Homo-oligomer: A and B are copies of this chain.
Amino acid sequence: MEEKKIPYKIYLSEDEMPKAWYNVRADMTNKPAPLLDGKTMQPITAEELGKVFCEELVQQELDDTTAWFEIPEEIRNFYKMYRPSPLVRAYCLEEKLQTPAHIYYKFEGNNTSGSHKLNSAIAQAYYAKRQGLKGVTTETGAGQWGTALSMACAYLGLDCNVYMVRCSYEQKPFRREVMRTYGAHVTPSPSDTTAVGRKILEQFPGTSGSLGCAISEAVEAATSKEGYRYVLGSVLSQVLLHQTIIGLETQTALRKYDIKPDMIIGCAGGGSNVGGLFAPFAGEMLRGEANYQLIAVEPVSCPSLSRGVYRYDYCDTGAICPLQKMYTLGNGFIPAASHSGGLRYHGMSSIVSQLYDDGLIEARSVAQTDVFAAAQEFAKCEGILPAPESSHAIRVAMDEAIKCRETGEAKTIVFGLTGTGYFDMMAYGKHNDGAMTDYVPTDEELQRGFDSIPKFPGNE
């Protein structure tokens, strides 16, 4: 049989786009442990969760048996504006590396939010709208999630309130203005608009804020106003569910050209993008239909999977969210300042954690100096300037392709390129100046993080 000619970019037609998200938990024998209520230490109820999150999203969060959730038509129409995203054959990178490996990447950066975040933002905003809510609240650090949510809310005519960590609000005016252009109300956090914000400002006048504090303000704003709910951009199972659009499109595109990947690589922060990319392939493995090497890549400075422990822990530093069983460095772990803000998270999606614990996923950790070197090499031959977060996956894909050059194996490598680095140019500047450094946490620092994990029977 003649091999089909693979184009530089594989685009699906609109008809080939997924019509349902895939809930991998349905195929898992070992289900992720249930969320616990922080007060009662009992599995949290839909009613409790529904005070903070939209009803439909609560159902998605708690349901670990339904394999497919239909994507509502309005969301599919929104997806059609910027999806399907291309699955790109990295011909130029292969040539540059002189590797017999075939390299593909699924590129999620071709939308104004600059990343995959939009996939879940539109879904969460849609369910809020359908519930008849007036608006949603959220927090944002670097601003990618806030941007995505602002875009989704603008499209649906929903009020969007973003609490942006004050130092980012001041240092990243570009992101702030993108959100404002989309009509969002952006408040530097801590602010005097919430009780928790006022308290922090009183205790620490002039503080530049933190993500933990911004979460607390966003949750308070959502729960104290009629017609509002809180939304979150990663970690939760509902977010991973929406992000399976990435993996499903990848799977369809590969099948269209009879391509069988050997390994699939993604960067891991809270785990929703890498989980969404892996899910359909993990599903095939769980059902015994295929076998793949699934590699989650994290920074050496924040190695939740590689060096974390599998425990119940708070999802947020402020300990106001429920407890989730996950690989964690401890909610009190403070990652070194790195240029991959999106990967500076102490924990990991409960689904990714369980799949990792069961040996379906492996983990690698890489240093940011090596990551930026890979990013630059990739940019020069593939044209796309990648986000530092995404470049963690590039680094490992390149390492694997170089191994193939040495062994002569023609492996098929697929990786997720989650976003662009347009708003990370100061970090690239540091790389260009040769001034970037690495940091590996010491065992003592990790221990201090582990000490912050709540202790109760069965969680030690």
Q: Is A69 an interface residue (CB 8 A)?
A: no
**Which residues A83-97 have CB closer than 8 A to chain B?**
88, 91-92
**Which residues A157-199 have CB closer than 8 A to chain B?**
173-178, 180-183
Check B174–A80 contact: CB distance below 8 A: no
Nearest B residue (CB) for A422: B422
Q: List, in ascending order, chain B residues with CB within 8 A of A173's CB.
A: 425-426, 429
Interface size class of A (residues with CB under 8 A): 35 or more
Check B112–A155 contact: CB distance below 8 A: no
What is the count of identical protomers in the complex? 2
Most B-side CB within 10 Å, residue of A114, A182, A428, A432: A432
Q: Is A13 an interface residue (CB 8 A)?
A: yes
Whether A112 touches B384, Cβ cut-off 8 Å, given contacts A81-B8, A178-B425, A423-B422, is yes
Nearest B residue (CB) for A92: B81
Q: Is A292 an interface residue (CB 8 A)?
A: no
Partner of A80, one of B8, B114, B175, B180: B8
**Which residues A353-394 have CB closer than 8 A to chain B?**
376, 379-385
| Subset of 16 A-B contacts with CB under 8 Å | A7-B14, A81-B88, A81-B92, A81-B382, A112-B385, A114-B422, A154-B381, A155-B381, A174-B422, A175-B425, A178-B422, A178-B425, A180-B428, A181-B379, A181-B425, A182-B379
User: 5 extra interchain contacts, Cβ-Cβ under 8 A, other than A8-B14, A177-B426?
Assistant: A110-B110, A112-B383, A173-B425, A176-B429, A181-B425
- Across chains A and B, which 8 residue pairs bring their CB atoms closest together, nearest first? A174-B425, A8-B80, A154-B380, A177-B429, A177-B425, A180-B432, A112-B385, A7-B14
